[in-house]
Structure 1
Amino acid sequence: MKFRRKKSGYAVIEILLAAAVFVTIGTSIVYLLIDSGYSNLQGRDRVLAANFAQSGLEATRNIRDSGFDKLTIGNHGLALQNGSWAFSGESDIDQSGRFSRQIQISAISADRLLVTSNVNRIAGISRPLNITFSTYLNNWNKTTLLPPSWNTPQIVGIGSTGETTGNRNPFGIFVLGNYAYLVADQPSSTGSEFFIFDISNPQTPTLTGKVLTGKRVYSVFVSGNYAFLTTQAQGSTRPELVVVDISNPATPTIVSRTSFNGNNYAKDIVVVGNYAYITTLNSNSREFIIVNVTDPVHPVTTPVGSLELGSNVNALNINGNYAYLATANDSGEIRIINISNPAVPTLVKTYNNPGLADATEVLFSNDKLFLSTLTNSGTNPNFVILSLNPSDLSIAVIGQTQLAGNINGIALDEAGNQVFTATSLSSQEFVLLDITNQAAPVIKSSLNLIGAAVAINYNGSYAFMAVNDLIQQLFIIGQGQ
C-alpha cells in the first residue's frame, strides 16, 4: 500500500507569501490615500493663507486712511479695536489658530511706504507654507499725483481660476470687450481648463464661467459667440479643436469636438471669416492646417488645406493673404505662408534668426515683423524688429535686443512706441520695451510677478497676463503714478 504524505509545510509558506503581498499592497494604498489627502489639504491651506495675507493689506490700508502717521516702520500684528483695525504686537494669528501673519512696513520715501503681508502656517500639516503679498501706500494728503505712466506700471487686478489641485498652469489668454478668456493645463479629471473672467472692472476681475474639456488647452481665439480652443489631444478619437458657445459667459457650453486624424497636438489658432488657421507640434505630419468653420457647431473634419513644415509651429498671426508662423526650426524661426488660396497654402519666405532659440511669437504691423524667442545663446537676440518689403517679401533687421530669459509672448502698442512682453525672468516677468528708436529697443519698465508669465494681451488700456501660479493665474497690469 502507498501512503501520500501531506504537504503542510508548503501550505504554510504559501499563506505567509500571500500575507506579505497583501500587506505590501495595503501599505501602498494607505500611503497613496494619505499623500492625496495631504495634497488636498495643502491646496486648501494655500487659499486660506492667501486670503489671510490679502486681508492684512486691506486692514493696513484702512489704518492708513485713518491717519498716515499710524503706519510706523517695523513689524506688526493686527487686531480689531472698537470696530477699527489697529496694530497690535509683532504678529497675529487667524481664528483657526493655524496661520501666523506679520505686517512689515518699510519706507520708500517720507510719504510712500512698502507694506508686506507675510503669512506662515504654524499648525496642521507639517509641510512648510508661506504666502507673501506686498503693496505701496502713499500719504495722499502730501503726495502730488503724477499723470499715469507706463514708466511705473502696477498690478491693477488679480484673478484666480479657483482650481485648487493638480496642474493649474495657464498656457494662453485672449481679451475681447469686457471678458478675458484663459486656457490652462488639465488640473484633474474633474477640473476645468477654459475660464471666462469679467474684466469690466479691471481692479476686480471676476471668474464668470468655466468648462471641462478633459485635456490640456494650449490656445484660445474668440470670434462672435464662439471660443475656439486647441488641445493636447490627438488621433482619430481625440479632438484637437474644441468649440465653446460663449453667448452666455456664465454658462459656456462645448458645441463641437473635431479631430483631424493627425498625430500632432494643436498649438495655436486664429479664426478669420469662415476659416480657422491652426498650427501644431511636429510629429511627422502637417503642422499648418486650414479648417472650414462656417458652421462652428459642425466644423468640416477634412482640412481645406494643409502644409508640412517639419518643425513645431508655436504661434501664428494672420494679415491679409499671409500667415506669419513662429517655429522651432533652427534655420527658419519665421515662416511666411501665402493663404490667398486656402486649398493650397504655400511657403513663400523663411527667416533665420541668429542662434538656436525657438520662436515664441511673431506679430505683423505696418510692414514690420516683431519676433520673440526663448533664451538665446551668446549675444544673439530674443526680441527682433524686422522690416518686410511687401513687393518681394524681403526681410531686414531694424533693431534687436536680448533679455536674460525666455520671452514667452509679446503684445504690441505701436502707437505708444512700446512692446509688452511676458517673460520667465525671475524678477521681471513683465517687461515693457521702449521702441521709440526701433533700431535700439530698450527696457522701459518691468514688474516682478509671482511666477513665470506665459502669455500676454493688450487691449489699449491694460496688459492682461497669464502667469504660472497655483493660486493666481490672471494678472492685469496698468499705468502707475
Structure 2
Amino acid sequence: MPRISVRSKRFRGFTLVEVLFSIVLLGVMLSTVLLSLSGQLTHVASSDSEMRAISLAEEGLEAVRSIRDTNWSALTPGTHGLAFTASGWSLSSASDTQDGLSRTVTITDISPTERKVSVDVAWTTKAGTPRLYELSTMLADWRNLPADDAGGTLEGDWHNPEIAGNMLDFGMGFRGIAVDVASTTLYLAGHGSVTAAYELWAVDVSNPNNPFKRGSINTGSGINEVAVDPVRKYAFVANANTSGQLQVINVANPNALSLTKTYGISGNTQKGRSIDLVGNLVYLGTEGPATAEFYVIDVTTVTSPKVKSSAKIGNDINDVMVFGNYAYLATDVDDREVAIVDVSNPSAATVVSLLDLPGGNNTEGLYVDHATGYLYVGRQLSTAPGEPEVVVVDVSNPANPQIIGSLDYDVSVDSVYAEGNLMFVLALGEEEFKAYDVSHLPALTYYGGIDFGVDDVPTDVYYQNNIFYISVFQQYALRIITAY
C-alpha cells in the first residue's frame, strides 16, 4: 500500500497561508508608500503654492511702490487689486487673481505723507485648507516730506541728557540762527557781524561725537532760516535782504556751496524771516507789516521761483511749519500770535483761524507734533502773570484751535520740540535745554535738562535719531545733545 505523507500536505498548506500573508503585507506596504507619495506630492503642491504666494506678495509691494513714485495721490485708502498695462501698474478692483491665488492690497492713511500698505495673498490647498500670506510696509510721499525734522523714537535717559559733540569755532563774526540736517550733513545758518563772515556752513555729522566743518558761503545779508531739499541738493533760505528774501543755494558738494538764485518778492520790501519746504513748494514768511507776509512759492524750477499765493497776517512771521494741509505761523501780532493757513490749494492760501494767546508777548517758534496733532509754541518773555512763555494747543481742528496747557518761563523761548511724551524747551538760562513730561496735560512736569556751560542763547533745533542739533547765537554756534 502506498504511504501517504502527511507532512507533505502540511507543508503545502503553510505555503498557501504564507503567500496570502505576503500579499496582504505587500498591499499594506504599497498603501503606505502610496500614501507617503501622495502626502509628499501634496506637500510639494502646497510648497509651490506658498512660493507663488510669496512672489505675488513681493510683486504687490513693488507695484505699489512704483505707483507711489509715479503718483502719490493714486494710493487711495481702501482695498484694491493690481493691474499691469503698457503704462505700468495701477490699482484695480477689490482683488486680483492669478492661478487660483487671490491678492488683495489694503492701503491705510497714516498722515498726509504716509501710507501703510498690506498685501494679502489667499489660496485653498487641495485638502481644502485655507491659507494666507501677508507682507506689509510703510510708504512715504518722499517728494513732499516736511523738511523740518527726521524724527525717531527717543532712547536712553532723558532725565540726564549729555553733550555729544565738541564745539566748533565758526569765527568771531558768526552767530547761529537756524539749523537743518540732510542725511549726514548739517546746515548751520546765521548772521555775520563783519562783512566777510560766512552765513551758511555745511558740517559733517556722520559721527555726531566728532563733527567737522566742510564748505561755507557768504550770502551778503545774513540768513534767518534754512530748509534743505535732500533729493535735489538745494538749500532754500530766508534771507535778511529787503530785495532778495529768498535765496537758493546749491549744496550738491558740501565742500563748495554756491549761490544759484536770489529772488525778491514783488511789492514786499521787508526782510525774509522764516521758511519751510514741502516738495517743490517753499512757504516763506517775511517781516512786516507788508501787503502780505506769508507766501507760497513754486520752486520746481529753482532758477525761476513763482509766487502761487499769499496771505496778509499783519506783522513779522517768526516761524513757519507746514503739516498736512495747513501752515502754522508764529507771529508778532498781539491778537493773533498764531495764524493757521489752509494751503491745500497752493494757489489759494486761506487763513482759517487766528489764535490770541494770553498776554501780549509775541510768538518766536512753534512745532506741530505729527503723532498727537498738538502745537507747541515758544514766546517772548513776559513779566506779567498769566502770560505764559510756552503754550500747548490742540489743533486737531485747525479752524478751532484750543489751548490745553501752558508753562511760565523766566526767559524768552525761541525754540520748542516734542517727541513721545516729552516736550523740549530751548532758552537762555541755567539749563538751556530742558525736557518736560506732557503725558498728563494740562500739567507740564520737569523731566530733565542740561546746562551748556556758558550763557548760550539757543535759536533753533533739529531732531534726528535720538540726537538734537541746536543752533546757538554765538561763534561756537552748534550744540549736539543726546541721551545714553
**TM-score, with structure 1 as normaliser:** 0.64
Q: SS at the partner of 2:164?
A: strand
**Distance (whole Å) between structure 1 residues aligned to residue 375 and residue 355 of structure 2:** 11
Q: CA deviation at 1:161?
A: 4.8
Q: Deviations over 1:262-298 (max 9, x none)?
A: 1111111111122111001113331001111001133
Structure 2 residue 352 is matched with structure 1 residue 359: no
Q: Deviations over 1:97-155 (max 9, x none)?
A: xxxxxxxxxxxxxxxxxxxxxxxxxxxxxxxxxxxxxxxxxxxxxxxxxx941111111
Structure 2 residue 466 is matched with structure 1 residue 458: no
1:388 paired residue number:
395
Structure 2 residue 154 is matched with structure 1 residue 154: no
Q: SS at the partner of 1:157?
A: coil
Two-structure CA RMSD over aligned residues (Å): 1.7
Structure 2 residue 201 is matched with structure 1 residue 195: yes
- What does 1:52-451 correspond to in 2, within 5 Å? 148-164=156-172, 166=173, 168-223=174-229, 224=231, 225-235=233-243, 239-261=244-266, 262-300=268-306, 303-365=307-369, 366-376=372-382, 377-390=384-397, 393-413=399-419, 415=420, 417-425=421-429, 427-449=430-452, 450=454, 451=456
- The one-letter amino acid of 1:339's match is V
Do the aligned partners of 1:420 and 1:456 also contact (CA within 8 Å) in 2? Answer: no
**Distance (whole Å) between structure 2 residues aligned to residue 190 and residue 219 of structure 1:** 20
Measured at CA, do residues 163 and 307 of structure 1 come closer, stay the same or move farther in structure 2, by a change above 3 Å? same
Greater relative CO, 1 or 2 (CA 8 Å, sep 6+): 2
Q: Deviations over 1:415-445 (max 9, x none)?
A: 2x112222022x1211112212222112211
**Distance (whole Å) between structure 2 residues aligned to residue 419 and residue 256 of structure 1:** 37
Q: CA deviation at 1:464?
A: 1.0
- The one-letter amino acid of 2:294's match is F
Do the aligned partners of 1:161 and 1:195 also contact (CA within 8 Å) in 2? Answer: no
Q: Deviations over 1:394-420 (max 9, x none)?
A: 22222211121111111221x2x1122
Q: CA deviation at 1:310?
A: 0.9
Do the aligned partners of 1:401 and 1:442 also contact (CA within 8 Å) in 2? Answer: no
Q: SS at the partner of 2:409?
A: coil
- The one-letter amino acid of 1:149's match is D
- The one-letter amino acid of 2:348's match is V
Do the aligned partners of 1:173 and 1:219 also contact (CA within 8 Å) in 2? Answer: yes
**Distance (whole Å) between structure 1 residues aligned to residue 304 and residue 277 of structure 2:** 15
Do the aligned partners of 1:375 and 1:403 also contact (CA within 8 Å) in 2? Answer: yes
Q: CA deviation at 1:384?
A: 1.6
Do the aligned partners of 1:324 and 1:336 also contact (CA within 8 Å) in 2? Answer: yes
**Distance (whole Å) between structure 1 residues aligned to residue 158 and residue 379 of structure 2:** 24
Q: CA deviation at 1:379?
A: 3.5
**Identity %, equivalent residues:** 23
Of the structure 1 ranges 396-405 and 208-217, higher mean CA displacement relative to structure 2 is found in: 396-405
Measured at CA, do residues 418 and 215 of structure 1 come closer, stay the same or move farther in structure 2, by a change above 3 Å? same
Q: SS at the partner of 1:182?
A: strand
Q: SS at the partner of 1:169?
A: strand
Q: SS at the partner of 2:290?
A: coil
2:93 paired residue number:
none
**Distance (whole Å) between structure 1 residues aligned to residue 170 and residue 373 of structure 2:** 42
- The one-letter amino acid of 1:325's match is L
- The one-letter amino acid of 1:204's match is N
- The one-letter amino acid of 1:233's match is N
Q: Deviations over 1:158-213 (max 9, x none)?
A: 3425323x3x2111111232121111112322221001111111111111111110
Do the aligned partners of 2:245 and 2:286 also contact (CA within 8 Å) in 1? Answer: no
- The one-letter amino acid of 1:384's match is V
**Distance (whole Å) between structure 1 residues aligned to residue 333 and residue 257 of structure 2:** 37
Q: SS at the partner of 1:436?
A: coil
Do the aligned partners of 2:376 and 2:417 also contact (CA within 8 Å) in 1? Answer: no
Q: CA deviation at 1:460?
A: 3.0
**Distance (whole Å) between structure 1 residues aligned to residue 277 and residue 295 of structure 2:** 12
2:145 paired residue number:
none
Q: CA deviation at 1:214?
A: 1.0
**Distance (whole Å) between structure 2 residues aligned to residue 477 and residue 256 of structure 1:** 34
Do the aligned partners of 1:263 and 1:285 also contact (CA within 8 Å) in 2? Answer: no
Do the aligned partners of 1:264 and 1:285 also contact (CA within 8 Å) in 2? Answer: no
Do the aligned partners of 1:434 and 1:442 also contact (CA within 8 Å) in 2? Answer: yes
**Distance (whole Å) between structure 2 residues aligned to residue 286 and residue 343 of structure 1:** 15
**TM-score, with structure 2 as normaliser:** 0.64
Which runs of 5 or more residues in structure 2 are unaligned?
1-154
- The one-letter amino acid of 1:473's match is A
Q: Deviations over 1:52-95 (max 9, x none)?
A: xxxxxxxxxxxxxxxxxxxxxxxxxxxxxxxxxxxxxxxxxxxx
2:18 paired residue number:
none
Q: CA deviation at 1:466?
A: 0.9
- The one-letter amino acid of 2:468's match is A
Which runs of 5 or more residues in structure 1 are unaligned?
1-146
Count residues with an aligned counterpart.
322
Structure 2 residue 472 is matched with structure 1 residue 467: yes
Do the aligned partners of 2:358 and 2:386 also contact (CA within 8 Å) in 1? Answer: no
